[in-house]
Amino acid sequence: MNDTATKVIIRPWRRDDAQQLASVANNRSIWNQVRDRLPSPYTVMDALQWINHCATQQPAVNFAIVYNDKVVGSIGCVPKEDVYRKTVEIGYFIGEPYWNRGIATEAVELLLAYVQRQFSVIRVYAEVFENNKASMQVLRNNGFYLEGIRRKAVIKNNVIMDDYVWVKLL
């Protein structure tokens, strides 16, 4: 376990998180690694809309990543439906000033524990753009394996690239 183990928590979003969320999410380096639905630029109003949306979720599936009492990122899961109902997709980002500290690795570990308590699933996966080696390492650190590479499956910033699918069986 890294030295962040006692400093990282994930918790439901609160309205007073909006400023900190906007501060970390309004970053082109983060936006370049996530789906286009994350607004860019990312404003306090965007953060408030997200927090209000999350407040309606039952059970909660999106959380603030808090490190040393500061919101430093976001993490969540999407329970799948129908024939995929035993599967959950996860996603996350960490604010750039907090990269390379083990925070994402710890947050994913905490989310996996939550998923196992909250949902009856046997499979968790994440999709990662080909150039996001740091996120791939976070998943590897949490026992995920590379299941496949979807060639030319993503377009981001008008660049077509591969999508790496990382899986953990529970």
Q: What pLDDT does 6 receive?
A: 58
The token pair at 137 is 């390492």
CATH number for 8-169 (one of 3.90.180.10, 3.90.950.10, 3.40.630.30, 3.30.499.10): it is 3.40.630.30
Asked if 111 contacts 144 with a C-beta cutoff of 8 angstroms, the reply is: no
Q: What pLDDT does 1 receive?
A: 43
Asked if 65 contacts 92 with a C-beta cutoff of 8 angstroms, the reply is: yes
Beta-carbon contacts of residue 110 (< 8 Å; ≥ 6 apart): 8, 9, 10
**Residues 17-62: pLDDT tens digits?**
999 999 999 999 999 999 999 999 999 999 999 999 999 999 999 9
Q: Which amino acid is at 52?
A: N
Asked if 39 contacts 31 with a C-beta cutoff of 8 angstroms, the reply is: no
pTM: 0.94
- Our CA angle for 15, 72, 101, nearest 5°, is 165
The token pair at 88 is 């959950």
Can you tell me the distance from the alpha carbon of 22 to that of 30, in angstroms, rounded to the nearest whole number? Answer: 12
The token pair at 135 is 């996120």
Can you tell me the distance from the alpha carbon of 126 to that of 118, in angstroms, rounded to the nearest whole number? Answer: 18
Query: For the chain, which ranges sit under pLDDT 50?
Result: 1-2, 4-5
